[in-house]
Amino acid sequence: MSGSLTSGRPVVGVFALQGDVREHLQALAAVGAEPLAVRRPTELARCDGFVIPGGESTTMAKLARTFELLEPLRDRVKTGMPTFGTCAGMILLADRIEDGIAGQETVGGLDITVRRNAFGRQVDSFEGDLAFAGLADPVHAIFIRAPWVERVGDDVEVLARVERGPAVGRIVAVRQGHLMATAFHPEVGGDTRVHALFVDLVRGG
């Protein structure tokens, strides 16, 4: 652990082997964290919290194993490091995947079942406003080849659902203890409130 929690600026790592890393680093800095691009176990060891960004979930898992990051990350998640997964990151935190590929690995920890590419292909990407637990005003959510949550365990809190369209009612944001995940990309568009909620979680709020 970095010891930076006492200064109020927790070190929050972002998985940096693939995915939309830069946007998360900027959002975390904007809400008072010390962001760190993480590619190696030694960098992970410095983190008080961690973000797994959007990208391609199977590629990210393979790269994490290649760079010897997968098992250390599993251990940190299991032992309580606050971790936030967005889009592909939600898939990587899920304990169960539907429509995954044979042998697809995850970090795990979240007692949810996610459906990969649930909203369709890249051309089916869309935006919409969502009520989000803990925030007074709606979040403008951007979905890009996004998953959704099919089922949640008893200890999982649903933070947001799709509010209109053919996917109305689908779960797209969850929290279970020290773990958070969204099917959409909160790092896009300049609204940092979801990142602020996560950084509060890292601080123990």
Q: What is the pLDDT of residues 136-172, one digit of tens each?
A: 999 999 988 889 999 999 999 999 999 887 778 899 9
State the average pLDDT over residues 17-27: 93
pLDDT of residue 145: 81
Q: Find out whether 46 and 96 touch, Cβ atoms under 8 Å.
A: no
Q: Which residues span the domain enclosing 82? A: 4-203
pLDDT of residue 80: 96
Indicate which CATH number applies to the domain containing 109. 3.40.50.880
What is the percentage of the chain residues whose pLDDT exceeds 70?
91
Active site residue 24: no
Pick the catalytic residue: 23, 24, 47, 185? 185
- Write down the H helix ranges in the chain: 21-30, 41-44, 57-66, 70-78, 88-93, 193-203
pLDDT at 5 over 70: no
What is the percentage of the chain residues whose pLDDT exceeds 90?
72
Backbone φ, ψ for residue 64 (5° rounding):
-60, -40
State the average pLDDT over residues 62-66: 94
Pick the catalytic residue: 23, 24, 47, 187? 187
Domain count, the chain: 1
Active site residue 178: no
Q: Is the dihedral of CA 139, 143, 148, 153 positive or negative?
A: negative
Between vectors from CA 104 to CA 148 and to CA 86, what angle results, nearest 5°? Answer: 35
- Residue 160 CA to residue 105 CA, distance in Å, equals 26
Q: Is the dihedral of CA 118, 122, 124, 125 positive or negative?
A: positive
Active site residue 34: no
pLDDT of residue 130: 94
pLDDT of residue 7: 57
Pick the catalytic residue: 24, 87, 105, 140? 87
pLDDT at 2 over 80: no
